[in-house]
Amino acid sequence: MTACIEARQLSRSYGDITALKSLDLEVPEGEWLTVMGHSGSGKSTFLNLVGGLDRPTSGELRIGGVDMLTLDESGLARFRREYVGIIFQQHHLIPHLSALENVMMAQYFHSVVDEAEARSALERVGLGARLANRPGELSGGEQQRVCIARAVINSPRLLLADEPTGNLDHQNTRVVLDLLRELRAEERFTIVLVTHNDEVAAWGDRTIRLDDGRLVSGTMVTP
Amino acid sequence: MGRGRWLFHIMARSLFWRRGRSLLLVLMLAMASSLVTALGVISASIGTRVTQELQRYGANVVIVPAAARMDVGSGGMNFGVVSEPAYLDEGAVEQALASAGLGQAAHSLHLRSALHYGNADVPVEGVHFDQIRKLFPWWQVQGEWPTAGGAVVGRDLAARLRLKTGDILRLKGVATEISVRIDGIVATGGEEDRSLYLDLPALQEAAHLSGRVTQVRLLTDAGREKPAATAARIQTLLPGASVREVRQVASTSEGLLRKVQLLLLIVTLVVVVACGASVAGTMGSTVLERSREIGLLKALGGTRGHVLLLFVIEAVVLGVLGGVAGFLAGSGIAFLAAWSVFATAGEFLPRFIPAALGVSLLLAFVSSAGSFMAVFRLDPVASLRGEYHAHENA
């Protein structure tokens, strides 16, 4: 199976603090990898590196065969809009835009702004009746579903989810995870999901655990 | 939806979402732009206005014979003293004015003399009434302006001699006797009230002073050339005459011009700087507030250029709105200034639209430059976390 993510001796330091220490990891195409760990364990740093939001201090990182260290800033931006979809714990929806417009914003950076396609994506996540509502008029679960629609609208090969259910109740957590499972089955993208929650982790194919920037449990490659 | 239309759409959403702040920014830009517009419009039209004002005061240059010392005054102002009769050659004066390029400038020829009426001499002045009407608009004539064979008598003289309009006077001069009809009575509050005004050729004939005048009054365009300089030029062409600037009026016009322009310039500079600082502060706080949004846009794949474009478009729209509002407000200020200072309707000068827009846009961009740089350098991870400082690796 082709590797979606290949990390070799991947490290990231911020001044004297090393957030990620010599991580070796391989994630095949289509896998749902769950990353667990305490706060400050390096899991968000890993997600940022894999998402092209940050650069490693040392080591190697290849995503979809692309050497991330060779990309300049505009190359990283292109990588983010063409290859990656990101779901944030805080949703990060633009407050003055409607649910539909928030999804269309991701289309604008990727290719063309297609209202019908954005509408369809929101209908897929069960928000067909909430298109015109602004984030402030939506519940936490609904906002997260807008975030999911926005993340998948450009058919990414890699979906990154940073604590996507961290702010949701049990029922909404299940809705979101069900949605991710359905979308993955349809789109066949790779998922890297960061969570503290063992129950959420159980939805993935494989779980790794980071502590103090090191891989402390789980396998480097899929067994 | 096309990309251009989408950009405009989200820009409009953003500005409407922050409508209070957007309105404040437009008002600040409009304030600076309006003063620049007002300065431009007033400066452009002030020369014309001052010239128009000068016409209210009459001539700004007076030509008298060099040997003469005569009382030169008008409208309650006194510029000199007459002592002995001396004359200017009417043809030489006209020729000198034409040579100086002032042939078309408003001027009036005067011949002061005295004619015998009844048992006494009365002061008379020969003039061309069409020139008087042009150069002395404050003359209030009761009755009619004279036609052929007519005359105007000063109010005091008319009272002293018990004259009224329609009376026929027989006046005896050195050479001949003439009859004139009183067509009107003039009241200026000045020396004009004590004299009789006849048609110049009639007096020249009666006094045997054909082609002679005792005084020429000239209204020059003070906005084009200082009256003193004009007087000096005429002086070289008329060595036998004394050509003098009417200083009070000239100084007033020049001083008014300079002071109004300087005052407007200072106020404009102060307001532009103050508005720039306010716009910079407001834009800066807006960028800080929107740092998460900026981080998100970058996380979605937006380059620095993409994100910067969104902010630049907002600045352009605010600048254009501020410029248009500023032009309208500035035109209004100039209109009010013209009305209150010159008591005339102001001018609407569309040629200052580019200046108004330019100032507003320049101010919007210069004041936002720091914020734009922050947007340019903002690291997506740091800004998504709410850390506002630009990251060294961004």
Assess whether pLDDT exceeds 80 at residue A157. yes
Round to whole Å and give the CA distance between B127 and B145.
Answer: 12
Inform me whether the C-beta atom of residue A97 falls under 8 Å from chain B C-beta atoms. yes
Report the predicted TM-score, pTM, of the whole model to 2 decimal places: 0.67
pLDDT tens-place string over residues A43-66 = 889 999 999 999 999 999 999 989
Sheet of strand A84-87: strand arrangement: A84-87, A158-162, A190-195, A32-37, A206-211, A214-217
Other CB atoms within 10 Å distance of the CB of residue B104: 8
| pLDDT score of A105 | 93
Assess whether pLDDT exceeds 60 at residue A176. yes
pLDDT tens-place string over residues A198-212 = 899 999 999 999 999
Inform me whether the C-beta atom of residue A49 falls under 8 Å from chain B C-beta atoms. no
**Residue A106 to chain B, least CA–CA distance (Å):** 6
Average pLDDT over residues A168-189: 88
User: Using CB atoms within 10 A of its CB, is residue A120 exposed (0-12), middle (13-18) or buried (19+)?
Assistant: middle
Assess whether pLDDT exceeds 90 at residue A216. no
Assess whether pLDDT exceeds 90 at residue A94. yes
Query: Could you read off the pLDDT tens digit of each residue along chain B, which spans 394 residues?
Result: 788 888 889 999 999 998 999 999 999 999 999 988 888 888 777 666 666 665 556 778 889 988 655 555 555 555 555 555 689 999 999 999 999 888 888 899 999 999 999 888 899 999 999 988 888 887 888 999 998 889 999 999 999 999 999 999 999 887 788 899 999 999 887 788 899 999 999 999 888 899 999 999 998 877 678 888 888 999 999 988 889 887 655 566 667 667 777 887 888 888 888 888 888 888 888 877 888 888 899 999 988 888 888 888 988 999 999 999 999 999 998 888 878 776 666 677 888 899 999 999 998 888 888 877 776 677 788 778 766 544 433 3
Kindly give, in sequence order, each residue whose CB lies less than 8 Å from that of residue B60, ignoring residues fewer than 6 positions away. B54, B218, B219, B220, B222, B227, B245, B246, B249, B250, B253
| pLDDT score of B392 | 38
**In this complex, do A78 and B301 lie within 8 Å of one another by their Cβ atoms?**
yes
> Chain-wide mean pLDDT for chain A?
90
Nearest to A77 among B10, B16, B302 (CB): B302
Strand, coil or helix: B325: helix
Inform me whether the C-beta atom of residue B301 falls under 8 Å from chain A C-beta atoms. yes
- Restricting to A residues 13-42, those with a Cβ less than 8 Å away from any Cβ of B are none
**Residue A114 to chain B, least CA–CA distance (Å):** 6
What is the maximum alpha-carbon separation in chain B? 110
Interface test with B, best of A48, A81, A84, A94 (most B CBs within 10 A): A94
Inform me whether the C-beta atom of residue A173 falls under 8 Å from chain B C-beta atoms. no
Strand, coil or helix: A5: strand
* DSSP tag of A21: E
List the alpha helices (DSSP H) in chain B.
3-17, 19-57, 90-99, 129-135, 155-161, 200-206, 227-237, 247-289, 291-299, 304-342, 353-377, 380-384
As a dihedral over the C-alpha atoms of residue B268, residue B269, residue B274, residue B275, rounded to 10 degrees, the angle is 60
Inform me whether the C-beta atom of residue B389 falls under 8 Å from chain A C-beta atoms. no
- Pairing mode, strands A206-211 and A32-37: parallel
Nearest Cα to A221, choosing from A20, A22, A8, A44? A8
Assess whether pLDDT exceeds 90 at residue A172. no
Inform me whether the C-beta atom of residue B302 falls under 8 Å from chain A C-beta atoms. yes
**In this complex, do B1 and A73 lie within 8 Å of one another by their Cβ atoms?**
no
Instruction: Give the DSSP letter string of B186-238.
Output: EE-SSGGGG-EEEEHHHHHHHTT-TTEESEEEEE--TTTS-HHHHHHHHHHH-
Round to whole Å and give the CA distance between B56 and B76.
Answer: 13
Nearest Cα to B378, choosing from B258, B262, B281, B291? B291
One-letter amino acid for residue A85 of the chain:
G
Q: Do B34 and A125 form a contact (C-beta atoms < 8 A)?
A: no
Instruction: Give the DSSP letter string of B358-380.
Output: HHHHHHHHHHHHHHHHHHHH--H
Round to whole Å and give the CA distance between B319 and B362.
Answer: 8
Q: How far apart are the first and last CA of chain B?
A: 31
Other CB atoms within 10 Å distance of the CB of residue B4: 9
